[in-house]
Amino acid sequence: MCHRRFGIGADGLILLRNEPGYDFKMVYFNADGGEGSMCGNGGRCTVRFAHDLGIFKEKAIFLAVDGPHEATATPDLIHLKMSPVKDLEKHDTYDFIDTGSPHYIAYVDNVDQTEVVSIGRAVRNNETYGPLGGTNVNFVEVKSPNHLKVRTYERGVEDETYSCGTGVTACALSSRAHFGWESPVRIDTVGGELQVAFREVAATQFDDIYLIGPAVKVFEGTF
């Protein structure tokens, strides 16, 4: 289904399931067929889909692979509460954060001229992260205070993805650690603009993290 030439074409497949005690359960599969870790933008799309189906009216609580999530749906935006982040690792040339999925973050001068696929694939499979199942790799350009531009190489997709929700969340938290920026942070991706709001509870620890952006139905069909 995810194949770009012989299927519908997608970075992943999300199933909406019933789950006792929750409005629904989200189950995410990468394009390579493996069950994936948390997908932030997929979560927002799932919330919009469930809302359009009438499963909830405005606020939802659902279960994902990394635990429970809260979300709010308005006509224009989805506010998705992400899991707390307990540790932001700062290395000499990059940061590493798990926001429900693992993310490597490197700051660059010009993200449009960065070789996202070749560098991202090398980092994803390097001796540090390869044995652990790999990592997603984010390249970040600072546009202005509280404003980033991000491109992401996504494991499982094994290519650049046009927008990664857990990735932009990781980049926003990294910017707080590096530049002391206040919440929210605006982030441009190839796929559009997102915002990340957060509360820093201690050094390198964050809670009340919200991924905010639109989610729009594009088409429907049978396969």
Question: Along the 223 residues of the chain, how does pLDDT read in single tens digits?
Answer: 988 899 998 989 999 999 999 999 999 998 889 888 999 999 999 999 999 999 999 999 999 999 999 999 999 999 999 999 999 999 999 999 999 999 999 999 999 999 999 999 999 999 999 999 999 999 999 999 999 999 999 999 999 999 999 999 999 999 999 999 999 999 999 999 999 999 999 988 999 999 999 999 998 988 8
* Predicted TM-score of the model (pTM): 0.94
- Spatial separation of the C-alpha atoms in residues 67 and 194, rounded to whole Å: 23
Please, are residues 223 and 1 in contact by the beta-carbon 8 Å criterion?
Answer: yes
Helix 40-52 and helix 165-179, axial crossing angle in degrees, nearest 10? 130
- Spatial separation of the C-alpha atoms in residues 164 and 40, rounded to whole Å: 7
Give the number of C-alpha atoms closer than 13 A to the C-alpha of residue 206, restricted to the C-beta side: 31
Residues 96 and 123 in one domain: yes
Residues 77 and 140 in one domain: no
Q: Which of 2, 39, 164, 171 is catalytic?
A: 39
- Which of 44, 66, 81 terminates a domain? The answer is 81
How much is the pLDDT for 4?
86
Please, are residues 22 and 62 in contact by the beta-carbon 8 Å criterion?
Answer: yes
If we measure between CA atoms, which residue out of 178, 125, 118, 124 comes closest to residue 148? Answer: 178
How much is the pLDDT for 64?
96
Q: How many domains does the chain have?
A: 2
| 3-state class (DSSP) for residue 81 | strand
- Which of 81, 109, 129 terminates a domain? The answer is 81
Residues 56 and 109 in one domain: no
39 has catalytic annotation = yes
Q: CB under 8 Å to 133, separation ≥6 — which residues?
A: 155
Residues 124 and 204 in one domain: yes
How much is the pLDDT for 223?
86
Domain span including residue 18: 12-81
Residue 1 lies in a domain: no
- List the structure tokens of 89: 């690792």
- Which of 31, 49, 81 terminates a domain? The answer is 81
Residues 36 and 101 in one domain: no
Residues 170 and 186 in one domain: yes
